Amino acid sequence: MNKSLIGIIGSAALTLIGVYLRLNAYSMAWVGPFSYSGPASETSWGRKEAAISEIGLAFLSVGILLLVITYIHWLFTKQSDK
């Protein structure tokens, strides 16, 4: 396998992990039905949800950035290097 294909697979995996974490942050952080009279962000579960969501955003951003870099690198390499 060449470097471009490895880069695309790796960055796609990072992007998918980021999307998964962003979309499932609530279900990963909250253990079940819970009633609290204050804002949810003041609970430990709310802070955990925000942290998981931000970690997912970081993975998503790095994955997309690596995809773009790999694609640009693939576009501008000579045919013999591919």
Give the model confidence (pLDDT) of 26-81 as tens digits: 888 887 776 666 777 778 888 898 999 999 999 999 999 999 998 888 888 866 55
Amino acid at 41: S
Q: Where are the domains of the chain?
A: 3-32+40-76
CA distances from 44 to 33, 36, 60 (A): 14, 12, 24
Among candidates 24, 52, 46, 22, which has minimal Cα distance to 34?
Answer: 46
CA distances from 41 to 44, 68, 79 (A): 8, 34, 53
pLDDT at 51: 92
pLDDT at 34: 67
Q: Record the pTM.
A: 0.78
